């Protein structure tokens, strides 16, 4: 856990909470549900704030919804992160089923690879450095697994159920990124850099954000 | 952009679909989705269209409400149409100009794909968001996945988290919007500047957002605790889900009807 001194966290008004947070075991369980739920809501909201990227085709969606999930992975462990990832995608599926669930499935797989592996590593390296290492490993796992899954599974699914043939996807990507000429270069010059970028920026933002809020996560500085 | 979230667009009405048990609707949704995935011919799409039209009648929701729920994905539908139209090379050429060649088969594929997407979205909103309150939906999911409790999956907690999340999404949307404007007025940049400037801009939004989310979670946890929330075991409900005879009948009837388009296609193949 990244320890932050109370006085330097700078959100004084948020610190005025009731002092009962950590007396009971049961409280921690209820808190877990409540905090997990709010993080799910946040992840879903952030998924809507899509940020367009240069050199990347429009269908590669970049958003910050993994930030709350990564924080859940650090605070509660990888399983909670996976649960939140699942709930986020279920909610997205119910709100706008615009890719027949394929996009949600891909997002879920990517999130599990990223937050799951980062949470797992952090479990054994609970320090500031450990957090950095775990996020780096998460990024690497993300940029290895998702391009492979895209290559073997999701491109196939899109072609079958949405009629987005892989050639069309390559063509769209080629329009913004001239290195992409076939399926393999699509993976190497679009999917891998995209996921590397996503992993690194999400890690960077999580790292910036974690320090001021870490005190709030467990309530009154007690470890849950 | 954030305003597009049409969550919990529950449309209150007195209808068969509204009264139906949420579990039945969830199962039917899965069945219908499988059915839609299996059709690929214009005739199947037509049959599917009639089925969805039947659902609309059953739900007693006015057409304009349904059209409104489809509006956010019109762009995507156009996109699917154009991609399919331009990339399909098989079939007879019906139009040719410059480098574009449109074939009759391409036109058919594009229409089928687009309409299929349309049908899927209408049926999703019809069966789930428009006729089922988020609370009922979470209840239905919890009850459907209850067997997983045996292998220690925290089904109750997940359903609880989902219903809380659904309730707080509109609140957080409003808050995100407010914070983004507030930070932009203080000079935070989201769309301009290099990556570090942008990351800092987003971090300046995320920190207050997290703080407020955690505060709400804290208050919520205390409120739940004050009402003796102790997780799933032994918890009773005010309105427990109960399957009535009519629910079973609708499940069987609509379940069969959902596969009519698939059957139509198979018959066409044989005949």
Length of chain B: 271
**Angle, helices B63-70/B104-124, rounded to nearest 10 degrees:** 110
CA–CA gap between residue B161 and residue A34 (Å, rounded): 7
Q: What 8-state DSSP symbol labels residue A18? A: -
Q: How far is the alpha carbon of A176 from chain B, nearest alpha carbon, in Å? A: 16
**Residue range of the domain that includes B260:** 2-270
Q: Does the beta-carbon distance from B199 to A18 stay under 8 Å?
A: no
Q: How far is the alpha carbon of A19 from chain B, nearest alpha carbon, in Å? A: 11
Q: Rounded mean pLDDT of A138-144? A: 93
CA–CA gap between residue A140 and residue A195 (Å, rounded): 9
Q: Does the beta-carbon distance from A34 to B217 stay under 8 Å?
A: yes
Interface size between A and B, measured as CB pairs under 8 A? 190
Q: What is the pLDDT of residues A31-49, one digit of tens each?
A: 889 999 999 999 999 988 7
Among A200-204, A213-217, B4-8, B31-35, the minimum mean pLDDT is found in B4-8
Residue A6, Cβ density class (10 Å: 0-12 exposed, 13-18 middle, ≥19 buried): exposed
Q: How far is the alpha carbon of B54 from chain A, nearest alpha carbon, in Å? A: 20
Q: What is the pLDDT of residues B190-227, one digit of tens each?
A: 877 777 788 888 888 899 999 999 889 989 988 988 88
**Which residues in chain B have their CB less than 8 angstroms from residue A216's CB?**
210-211, 214-215, 218
Query: Cβ(A143)–Cβ(A195) under 8 Å?
Result: yes
Nearest to B77 by CA among B122, B143, B22: B122
**Which residues in chain B have their CB less than 8 angstroms from residue A37's CB?**
160-162, 164-165, 168, 217, 220
Q: Does the beta-carbon distance from B129 to A94 stay under 8 Å?
A: yes
Cβ neighbour number for residue B82 with a 10 Å cutoff: 13
Q: What is the pLDDT of residues B148-191, one digit of tens each?
A: 888 888 888 898 898 899 888 888 988 998 999 999 899 888 87
B108 → chain A, closest CA residue: A163
pLDDT confidence tier of residue B10, bands split at 50, 70 and 90: confident
pLDDT confidence tier of residue B234, bands split at 50, 70 and 90: confident
pLDDT for the residue numbered A55:
64
Q: How far is the alpha carbon of A83 from chain B, nearest alpha carbon, in Å? A: 7
Regarding pTM above 0.90, the answer is no
> Helix, strand, or coil here: B97?
strand
CA–CA gap between residue A96 and residue A37 (Å, rounded): 20
Domain count, chain B: 1
Q: Rounded mean pLDDT of A198-222? A: 78
CA–CA gap between residue B172 and residue B190 (Å, rounded): 19
Q: What is the pLDDT of residues A115-129, one digit of tens each?
A: 999 999 998 988 888
Q: Rounded mean pLDDT of B251-258? A: 88
- Which positions ≥6 away from A16 have C-beta within 8 Å? none
Mutation test of the interface with chain A: which of B202, B224, B233, choosing the one with the most A Cβ atoms within 10 A? B202
A101 → chain B, closest CA residue: B33
Question: Is the per-residue pLDDT at B31 higher than 80?
Answer: yes
| Plot region of B202 (φ>0 → left; ψ -120 to 50 → alpha; else → beta) | alpha
Nearest to B40 by CA among B124, B90, B115: B115
| Interface ipTM > 0.90 | no
Name the residue facing A42 among B128, B198, B209 (closest C-beta).
Answer: B209
Taking only residues 117 to 156 of chain A, the set having a beta carbon closer than 8 angstroms to any beta carbon of chain B reads none
Q: How far is the alpha carbon of A144 from chain B, nearest alpha carbon, in Å? A: 23
**Angle, helices A117-124/A66-76, rounded to nearest 10 degrees:** 30
- Helical residues (DSSP H) of chain B, grouped into ranges: 16-19, 22-38, 42-59, 63-70, 74-87, 104-124, 134-144, 155-185, 195-226, 245-258, 260-270
Q: Does the beta-carbon distance from A42 to B218 stay under 8 Å?
A: no
Could you give phi then psi for residue A177, rounded to 5 degrees? -140, 105
**Which residues in chain B have their CB less than 8 angstroms from residue A90's CB?**
141, 162
Q: Does the beta-carbon distance from A91 to B165 stay under 8 Å?
A: yes
Q: Does the beta-carbon distance from B200 to A208 stay under 8 Å?
A: yes
CA–CA gap between residue B250 and residue B70 (Å, rounded): 26
Nearest to A198 by CA among A152, A131, A154, A135: A135
Q: How far is the alpha carbon of A73 from chain B, nearest alpha carbon, in Å? A: 15
Q: Percent of chain A at pLDDT above 70?
A: 80
Could you give phi then psi for residue B244, rounded to 5 degrees? -100, 170
Query: Cβ(A6)–Cβ(A221) under 8 Å?
Result: yes
Q: Does the beta-carbon distance from B157 to A205 stay under 8 Å?
A: no
pLDDT for the residue numbered A191:
84
Instruction: Return the bridge partners of A70, or none.
Output: none
Name the residue facing A30 among B176, B198, B229 (closest C-beta).
Answer: B229
CA–CA gap between residue B137 and residue B131 (Å, rounded): 10
Q: What 8-state DSSP symbol labels residue B230? A: -
Most confident range (mean pLDDT) of A86-90, A161-165, A171-175, B98-102 is A86-90
**Which residues in chain B have their CB less than 8 angstroms from residue A23's CB?**
none
**Which residues in chain B have their CB less than 8 angstroms from residue A46's CB?**
176
Taking only residues 177 to 196 of chain A, the set having a beta carbon closer than 8 angstroms to any beta carbon of chain B reads none
> Helix, strand, or coil here: B250?
helix
Q: Does the beta-carbon distance from B169 to A212 stay under 8 Å?
A: no
pLDDT for the residue numbered B2:
52
């Amino acid at each position: 856990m990244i320890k932050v001194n109370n006085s330097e966290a700078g959100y004084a008004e948020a610190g005025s909470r009731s002092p009962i947070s950590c007396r009971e075991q049961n409280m921690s369980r209820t808190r877990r549900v409540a905090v997990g739920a709010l993080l799910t809501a946040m992840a879903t909201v952030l998924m809507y704030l899509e940020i367009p990227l240069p050199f990347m085709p429009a269908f590669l969606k970049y958003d910050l919804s993994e930030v709350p999930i990564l924080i859940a992975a650090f605070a509660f462990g990888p399983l909670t992160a996976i649960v939140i990832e699942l709930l986020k995608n279920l909610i997205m599926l119910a709100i706008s089923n615009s890719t027949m669930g394929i996009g949600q499935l891909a997002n879920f797989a990517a999130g599990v690879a990223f937050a799951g592996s980062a949470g797992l590593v952090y479990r054994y390296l609970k320090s500031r450095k450990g957090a950095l290492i775990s996020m780096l490993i998460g990024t690497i796992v993300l940029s290895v697994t998702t391009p492979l899954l895209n290559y073997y599974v999701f491109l196939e699914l899109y072609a079958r159920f949405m009629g987005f043939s892989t050639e069309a996807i390559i063509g769209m990507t080629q329009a913004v990124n001239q290195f992409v000429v076939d399926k393999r270069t699509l993976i190497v010059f679009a999917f891998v850099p995209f996921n590397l970028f996503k992993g690194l920026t999400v890690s960077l933002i999580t790292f910036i954000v974690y320090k001021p809020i870490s005190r709030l996560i467990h309530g009154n500085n007690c470890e849950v | 952009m954030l305003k597009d979230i049409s969550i919990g667009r529950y449309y209150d009405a007195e209808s068969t679909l509204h009264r139906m048990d949420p579990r039945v609707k969830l199962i039917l949704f899965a069945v219908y989705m499988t059915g839609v995935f299996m059709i690929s011919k214009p005739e199947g799409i037509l049959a599917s269209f009639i089925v969805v039209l039947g659902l609309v009648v059953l739900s007693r929701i006015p057409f304009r409400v349904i059209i409104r729920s489809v509006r956010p994905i019109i762009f995507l539908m156009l996109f699917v149409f154009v991609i399919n139209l331009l990339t399909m090379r098989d079939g007879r050429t019906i139009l040719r100009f410059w480098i574009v060649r449109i074939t009759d088969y391409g036109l058919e594929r594009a229409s089928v794909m687009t309409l299929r997407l349309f049908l899927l979205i209408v049926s999703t909103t019809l069966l789930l968001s428009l006729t089922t309150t988020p609370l009922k939906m979470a209840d239905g999911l919890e009850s459907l996945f209850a067997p997983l409790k045996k292998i220690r999956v925290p089904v109750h907690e997940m359903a609880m988290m989902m219903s809380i999340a659904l309730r707080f999404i509109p609140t957080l949307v409003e808050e995100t919007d407010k914070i983004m404007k507030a930070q932009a007025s203080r000079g935070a940049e989201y769309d301009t500047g290099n990556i570090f400037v942008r990351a800092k801009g987003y971090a300046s939004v995320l920190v207050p957002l997290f703080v407020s989310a955690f505060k709400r979670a804290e208050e919520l946890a205390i409120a739940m605790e004050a009402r003796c929330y102790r997780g799933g075991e032994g918890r009773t409900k005010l309105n427990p889900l109960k399957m009535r005879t009519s629910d079973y009948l609708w499940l069987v009837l609509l379940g069969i009807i959902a596969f009519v388009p698939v059957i139509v296609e198979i018959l066409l193949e044989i005949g």
